[in-house]
Amino acid sequence: MIAVQNLTKYYGTALAVNNISFEVEKGTVLGFLGPNGAGKTTTVRIITCYLSPTAGTVTVDDKSILTESLEVRKRIGYLPENAPLYLDMNVVDYIRFMQNMRADGAAANGRQIKEVIARCGLEEVLHKTIGELSKGYRQRVGLAQALVHNPEILIFDEPTVGLDPNQIIEIRNLIKELGRDKTIILCSHILPEVEATCNRVLIISEGEIVADGTPAELQASFEGKGKISLQVKNNCETFMEKIVSVPGIERVAKSDQITPGLYDLDLETVKGTDPREDIFNLCRDNESILMEMKREETSLEDVFRQLTAKEH
């Protein structure tokens, strides 16, 4: 659905995007990540025909952004971080206005408007002026304008900003649902949100792509030393002496006594090992009580920080 080839963008002499290439297949929910100034927003603006590239090509459903811009725009629903809303219009008039601007005669119909209103949870504020709405409801109106012409591709930039926890879950579920038959690019700084909704992640840093894969693939490829946190009761001193000899345990990183006879321990393990069964057996043999055991895995946030952190 989207093919980016050797894309480069300069602002004057400043290089924002440096010869990047990637493709996005239909049905993909792509998390597009990068720190501020990495070139993420510039790339999205080029795909949506808001900016022209300095070099390279972008096609959307085999339509060129340079020679078939209007056809490309028909196929895209775009929600920027700050939705461009007309604050003096009421909600339903604004959504109808946006549909009339974007959809051709066959696609412009009241049924589509009703479906979008229901999906975005706007029934209670249909006749309110947008300027009177809360931040959360304005964000929902922004989502509605991106969906109302039933585009094949959706690009969301921080779509859950300003929403309460229940609304965030609703929007995440909506994105998953839309991803079944649409192509979605999700730009977000909320990495757990990307993990929850995206089946592919692209990370850009200093204008270059530094990682591309599923969240699980990226986490596995950057997994380092493992971490296991324990809470142990009874015979703790003996237990801590013996734990370092368990195969796979590299060291006890931290041990805190919560109450007499009850300790929290953080263990570092050798990459690729899982000593949890041996830890359990040690507790049994030592007549200690294992109150809690949790293995911490490499998160998408860990991967992101490793790839985008600058040396100082």
pLDDT tens figures, 255-298: 888 888 899 999 988 877 889 999 999 999 999 999 999 988 77
Q: Look up residue 88 and give its two tokens.
A: 């003096």
User: Does 203 lie in the same domain as 125?
Assistant: yes
Identity of the residue numbered 241? E
Instruction: Examine the fold and report which residue of 200, 221, 242 is the final residue of a domain before the chain moves on.
Output: 221
Mean pLDDT of the chain: 88
Per-residue pLDDT of 107-161, as tens digits, reads 556 788 999 999 888 999 999 999 999 888 898 899 999 999 889 999 998 888 7
User: Does 190 lie in the same domain as 48?
Assistant: yes
Per-residue pLDDT of 16-31, as tens digits, reads 999 999 999 988 999 9
What pLDDT score does 301 carry? 82
CB atoms < 10 A from the CB of 81, how many? 15
Does 94 fall in a domain?
Answer: yes
User: Does 10 lie in the same domain as 125?
Assistant: yes
Q: Look up residue 254 and give its two tokens.
A: 């931290």
CATH number, position 277: 3.30.70.2740
Does 103 fall in a domain?
Answer: yes
Q: Is 182 exposed, middle or buried (0-12, 13-18, 19+ CB in 10 A)?
A: buried
The percentage of residues in the chain with a pLDDT greater than 90, rounded to a whole number, is 55
Distance CA 271, CA 79 (A): 41
Instruction: Give every CB contact of residue 7 below 8 A, 6+ residues apart in sequence.
Output: 17, 19, 20, 21, 43, 46, 53, 55, 56, 57, 58
Distance CA 23, CA 1 (A): 8
Does 308 fall in a domain?
Answer: no
User: Does 147 lie in the same domain as 93?
Assistant: yes
Distance CA 36, CA 31 (A): 15
| Between 46 and 174, residue with greater pLDDT | 46
CATH number, position 41: 3.40.50.300
User: Does 105 lie in the same domain as 24?
Assistant: yes
User: Does 240 lie in the same domain as 203?
Assistant: no
Does 302 fall in a domain?
Answer: no
Range of the domain at 46: 2-221
Does 311 fall in a domain?
Answer: no
Distance CA 158, CA 32 (A): 11
User: Does 284 lie in the same domain as 136?
Assistant: no
User: Does 207 lie in the same domain as 174?
Assistant: yes
Does 307 fall in a domain?
Answer: no
Contact 73, 60 (CB under 8 A): no
Does 231 fall in a domain?
Answer: yes
User: Does 287 lie in the same domain as 182?
Assistant: no
User: Does 112 lie in the same domain as 239?
Assistant: no
Does 292 fall in a domain?
Answer: yes
Query: pTM for this one?
Result: 0.78
User: Does 43 lie in the same domain as 67?
Assistant: yes
The count of structural domains within the chain is 2
What pLDDT score does 132 carry? 95
User: Does 265 lie in the same domain as 167?
Assistant: no
